[in-house]
Amino acid sequence: MTTTTPRMLLVLIAVATMAHSNNTADAQPAINTGSLLREMYDMQRLTELPSPAYKTVQYSSYDRRSSVPNGPGWFANADGFGGEPIPGFLSVVSEPNEQGIGEYLICDVQTPGVIVRTWTAAMGGTLKVTLDGNETPLYEGPTADFLFSPYHALANAHSQDESLAAPGTFQQHEASYCPIPFAEGCRITWTGKLREVHFYQIQIREYEPDADVQTFQLSDLTTYADDLETAQRILNAPGAEYAYADDQPIHSMAVNINGHEKIDVLNLDGPGAIERLTLKVSAANVEHALRQVVLEIYFDGYPWPQVEAPVGDFFGAAPGINPLDSMPFTVEPDGTMTCRYVMPFASSVRVALSNHGDQPVTVTGSVAPMSYEWTDRSLHFRARWRVDHDVVGWSQAPQDLPFLLANGAGRYVGTSSMLLNPTNITTPWGSWWGEGDEKIFVDDDRVPSTFGTGSEDYYNYAWSVPEIFTFAYCGQPRNDGPGNRGFVTNNRWHIIDDLPFASRIAFYMELFPHSRVPGMSYARIGYHYARPGCYDDHVIITDEDVRILERPENWQPAASYILQDATIYSVEDLLSITPAMRIIRDHFWAGGQVLAWQPPRVGDSLHIRITVPEDGKYQLYLGCGLTPGAGRITFAMDENPINIEGHGEQVDLYVPYRTLERQFATPVMNLTAGEHGLTVTFAGAPDSVSTPMICLDYLACKKR
């Protein structure tokens, strides 16, 4: 992955650690499966330089033509679809046979280490994982099984109890965090067909040579069953299950902040640390306030804050209130936001709130300090927000956006992206903003030691899906839609897979949409810890940076991609308005308005009339709102019930907390020339919904 050897890089990290510690020669406890499982929820671990030192390297199927930064091929995108000009592996072990099956080297690590993360979007063939040069591989079997959930695959392969794999906690969307340590080395090969899809990412900690690492054994799943259970319980519900020290009095706050006013809300002397920070913002327009009130945290008398970010963005769920529960952050439905990144200081900490907007706001919350001994290995927490407005995203002109460029020693621990994507394409394919790869240079990398295969792959999902999800280490708490249109937020937290750096880190992610999109806004934060003296390229936030973002007025769905050559209508133009219907005006919806239907009872229907010009096969696409006040609907075409692709007989439009828009497709239908009727019938709503409302936005008719 790099032009220098892992051993050379580990020496650099070890030297940086030794420069900050008089105790590096002290014996370190052995690293084993149990200790690594405990690291998965140990937030305080991140506050010091690692000892023993390690570098986190990602082995992936990235396009090997991307070999010279900013040179030809730097934005090449053949990274696992099949038929790449250069195989996306370290080397070819065996050339393809007559059936096209060859063997390829993914990695050959020759130091102590740990597999900390695996990911795939799709990959057939056979994966072979060998630890410490053993003749018998740890695993040899279906590739996707191991990459999706290594513990699960190992348990299956050896007829162990599958419950030990803890699906849904260690496996988070398309990624899995199942630490597998090895004492001497790890060799992974893949046997399969290059012409078929083969996306992969495998992240490995590579330790300094004398690190005491105990190799994973299948019996670890039993030996460390208590640690597995504890990790599973905490990762499943961090906000409820995380255990705080709570060894210091909590400091409460309640402040009113006028427009363009800044107020200090906390001053503490050290040494110590902030273990928990909780804030809640109230204002006439809370969404605006969450972007325009900026959190500033100054450690140890620094003139500029090490933490500077809009309050909502800092907690990883902006814009607005979008509930999530992750290892470092929890956002409650009522807007209460909690941070669990531990923030040490040697002598002092000052927390301030700066209102860059015009409206007055009220902020309540608390800070829970903890005892902390500051040493020459301790790190300051840093989270510095940046934004680019009015960006033109285009697949023909991709660009690297900087997330963090820092010089010094520390650890990279998290990322969030907050976008306004004003595309008018209504499907994930076409509206997708994140074809671009992450490129992370650490220390003396000449090419990135973490080189990704797509933005959604970095954020642990795949295929540009717009679904809302939140896990301990990743999430998509907002994606307005339809497709990936509107405001979109992704996050990923590097807790077990942090990236230590000894002298520098440069984190870029490509902006690479499917189609040309002017007027994009792309905000982001690179969360990290660093030794005092670390310097970066941060520019202090201005009023212009946190200006109010608006969706384009009266946008119209584009007849392109899946809707190529379709005829597109506003639903309200295709039916007779009744007293149970009204028009809601908002730029969220196509044409700036949506039909809101409030059916009085289950079984009530509305009838949409469409005319097709000639006999043929047709498919209909309906843009619908998903809201906390919605319910279930069914469909019939010319009084014949029809299923909806991916949903069956009923479509459930109810979602808590958010307003989304999604596009639903009918089957391909044979229609004769003339008028036809699409009947939408109300099929019920949750008990919590007293007055159901169904939002129907646009209808597209496409001839097949």
Per-residue confidence (pLDDT) for residue 158, from 0 to 100 = 74
More confident residue, 82 or 157: 82
Q: How confident is the model at residue 628 (pLDDT cuts 50, 70, 90)?
A: very high
Do 17 and 62 belong to one domain?
Answer: yes
Indicate if 237 and 252 belong to the same structural domain: no
Please indicate, yes or no, whether residues 666 and 574 belong to a single structural domain of this protein.
yes
Task: Mark which of 370, 401, 421 sits at the end of a domain.
Answer: 370
Same domain, 619 and 672: yes
Cα–Cα distances (Å) from 621 to 571, 661, 667, 696, 703, in that order, read: 11, 13, 10, 11, 11
| AA identity, residue 597 | W
Q: Which amino acid is at 557?
A: P
Q: Residue 585 sits in which domain range?
A: 561-703
pLDDT of res. 8: 44
- How much is the pLDDT for 27? 66
User: Does the structure show a pLDDT above 80 at 11?
Assistant: no
Distance CA 199, CA 196 (A): 10
The average pLDDT across 483-498 equals 99
- Evaluate if residue 139 carries a pLDDT over 80: yes
CA 527 to chain centroid: 13
Bridge partners (DSSP) of residue 324 are 331
Domain count, the chain: 3
Residue 399 forms part of a structural domain: no
Give the end of a domain, one of 320, 346, 370: 370
Q: If you ran DSSP here, which 8-state letter would residue 123 be given? A: B
Check pLDDT > 80 for residue 165.
Answer: no
Nearest to 315 by CA among 335, 285, 342, 292: 335
- Give the residue from 429, 445, 422, 253 showing the smallest Cα distance to 353: 253
How is residue 228 annotated by DSSP?
A: H
Domain assignment present for residue 505? The answer is: no
274 in the same domain as 224: no
β-sheet bridge partners, residue 495: none
| Residues 313 and 233 grouped into a single domain | no
pLDDT of residue 16: 45
Q: Is the peptide bond before 52 cis (omega within 30 degrees of 0)?
A: yes
pTM of the model: 0.95
Residue 485 lies in a domain: no
- Final residue of a structural domain among 211, 241, 271: 241
pLDDT at 28: 79
Mean pLDDT computed over every residue of the chain: 95
Q: Residue 552 domain-assigned?
A: no
Beta-carbon contacts of 489 under 8 Å, excluding residues fewer than 6 positions away, are 316, 317, 318, 319, 322, 416, 417, 418, 419, 476, 477, 478, 479
The length of the chain is 704
Q: Are 327 and 169 in contact (CB under 8 A)?
A: no
Average of per-residue pLDDT across 600-621: 98
Q: What is the pLDDT confidence band of residue 156, given thresholds at 50, 70 and 90?
A: confident
Q: Is residue 233 located within the same domain as residue 252?
A: no
Question: Do 288 and 214 reside in the same domain of the chain?
Answer: no
- Contact 452/439 with Cβ under 8 angstroms? yes
Amino acid, single-letter form, for residue 163: S
Please list, residue by residue across 445-454, b when 16 or more beta carbons sit within 10 angstroms of its beta carbon and e when fewer do.
Answer: bebbbbbbbb
Confidence band (pLDDT; 50, 70, 90) for 20? Answer: very low
Using alpha carbons, select from 74, 468, 527 the residue that is nearest to residue 295: 527
Residues 140 and 110 both lie in one domain: yes
Going from the C-alpha of 195 to that of each of 49, 372, 601, the distances in angstroms are 43, 55, 54
